[in-house]
Amino acid sequence: MPPTLTPKQILVHHSADEWEEFIYEWVSALKEADYVDVVRMGGSNDRGADIAAFLTLSKTDGPWHCFQCKHYDKAISGTVAYPEILKIHSAVAERQYKVLPERYVFVAPKVGGSFTQLLAKPSTLQTAFFEWADKNATKLAQEYGEAPLKRALHLAGQSDFSRFEAGNLDRILEQHSTTPHHVRRFGTRLPDRPAVPAAPADHAPEETRYVQQLLDVYHEKWGCSPNAPDEARAHHKAGPNLQRQREAFYCAEQLRMFARDSVPEGTFESLQSDVYSGVSEVEEDDFPTGYARMKAVLAAARDMQLGSNVLIHYVKPEDRKGICHQLANEDRLTWVQEEL
């Protein structure tokens, strides 16, 4: 087997667009920042901001953070950063943004040591920026225009350069690993699935439809009242069956929550669709009772192949049954069917 690439090594081979997408995933998951929204603003006219994170509904009219994505073979240095620093000051000086971002974060696979040292000394960074601007004054005046350049540099002279920083890739990867995107992007193992809790004694509102379908089954099979769950629970056959089906439902619900926190959106729903595809034709067959139909569908779900979903290795037999009850909860599966 070839050696497995680490996430850092994989990121080196990302394109600029893939890198920006990775950073967007990371920023969107920064729970401690409490952003109200995160948007990608990159492009040829990004005005100094690839990704903007808003702390209030005022967006860039209020406090916000800017993330500038750079993906080069070499480590980024001051000569890469200075044009971006000028660009963001120009955008505010020309009223394209109302205020400067409170934080401006350069994010790159590699950050040069000298640039890291500059960022640690905001006043020295500001001095180095103006030295670069003076050295390139003629070229910058042609690019921005003399008056706009003067306004941008005036604002930069009043600016607090401590807003500029560089993202730490180790910390970024650590935080990204807590998101559902990490497994898809890097092919790493999912975290261990938590223990499945027992079904609560009382039926929850979100169980209403599939439990009613079970009560209809027990009414047809054993004569239990379809409107009295307590009667079914007390029945010597219906009661244990109801408990087993509820345990399976809650097992599948726990898998749903595990998937929500561990894999990309839609992964669990894709698994549900695979199960439905495998059992729907069984459900359509003729059966003497709804009980027989339900048993046949649950057996088909237990025995079917589930393709290549990333959750496959975490699916328990009870999950397969529980997914059928989730589908019954949405009326995608029906146990007791009226004859036409």
- What is the rounded CA–CA span in Å between residue 66 and residue 163? 10
Which of 214-228, 250-264, 273-287 bottoms out in mean pLDDT, i.e. has the lowest? 250-264
Phi (first) and psi of residue 201, to 5 degrees: -65, -40
**pLDDT over 50 at 11, yes or no:** yes
**Is there a contact between 130 and 71 (Cβ–Cβ < 8 Å)?**
no
**pLDDT over 50 at 320, yes or no:** yes
**Quick one: pLDDT at residue 340?**
39
* pLDDT band, residue 285 (cuts 50/70/90): very high
Question: Is 7-186 assigned to CATH 3.40.91?
Answer: yes
- What is the rounded CA–CA span in Å between residue 49 and residue 69? 9
Token pair 């480590």: residue: 75
**Quick one: pLDDT at residue 221?**
95
Q: Give me the percent of the chain exceeding a pLDDT of 70.
A: 97
Highest average pLDDT, of 45-54, 194-203, 222-231, comes from 222-231
For residue 162, what are the CA distances in angstroms to 70, 153, 178? 20, 17, 29
Q: Give me the percent of the chain exceeding a pLDDT of 90.
A: 76
Assigned token pair, 66: 């800017």
What are 66's strand-pairing partners? 52, 104
Which of 73-77, 89-93, 128-132, 161-165 bottoms out in mean pLDDT, i.e. has the lowest? 73-77
What does the DSSP assignment read for 19-72? Answer: HHHHHHHHHHT-GGG--SEEEE--STT-TT-SEEEESSTTGGGSSEEEEEE---
- What is the rounded CA–CA span in Å between residue 191 and residue 188? 9
- What is the rounded CA–CA span in Å between residue 212 and residue 228? 10
**Quick one: pLDDT at residue 33?**
75
Burial of 340 per CB tally in 10 Å (0-12, 13-18, 19+): exposed
Which of 62-66, 192-196, 210-214, 232-236 bottoms out in mean pLDDT, i.e. has the lowest? 192-196
Please, what is the average pLDDT of the chain?
92
The candidate with the shortest Cα–Cα distance to 96, out of 34, 52, 36, is 52
**pLDDT over 70 at 227, yes or no:** yes
**Quick one: pLDDT at residue 46?**
61
Assigned token pair, 87: 């660009």
Fill in the DSSP letter of residue 154: H
The candidate with the shortest Cα–Cα distance to 118, out of 92, 80, 156, 155, is 80
Q: What is the mean pLDDT of residues 170-196?
A: 84
Fill in the DSSP letter of residue 85: H
**pLDDT over 80 at 26, yes or no:** yes
**Quick one: pLDDT at residue 1?**
45
Give the CB-side neighbour count of residue 29, counting CA atoms within 13 A: 21
Greatest CA separation for the chain: 92
Instruction: With H, G, I as helix, E, B as strand and everything else as coil, classify residue 99.
Output: coil
* pLDDT band, residue 262 (cuts 50/70/90): confident
Could you report the per-residue pLDDT of 229-251, keeping only the tens digit for each?
A: 999 999 999 999 999 999 999 99
- What is the rounded CA–CA span in Å between residue 228 and residue 206? 17
- What is the rounded CA–CA span in Å between residue 50 and residue 23? 10
**Quick one: pLDDT at residue 146?**
96
- Each domain of the chain, given as residue ranges in start order, spans 7-186, 205-329
**Which letter, b or e, does each residue of 183-209 get, where b requires 16 or more Cβ atoms within 10 Å of its Cβ?**
bebbeeebeebeebeebeeeeeeebee
Could you report the per-residue pLDDT of 75-96, keeping only the tens digit for each?
A: 999 999 999 999 999 999 999 9
Question: HEC states along 286-337?
Answer: CCCCHHHHHHHHHHHHHHCCCCCCCCHHHCCHHHHHHHHHHHHHCCCCCCCC
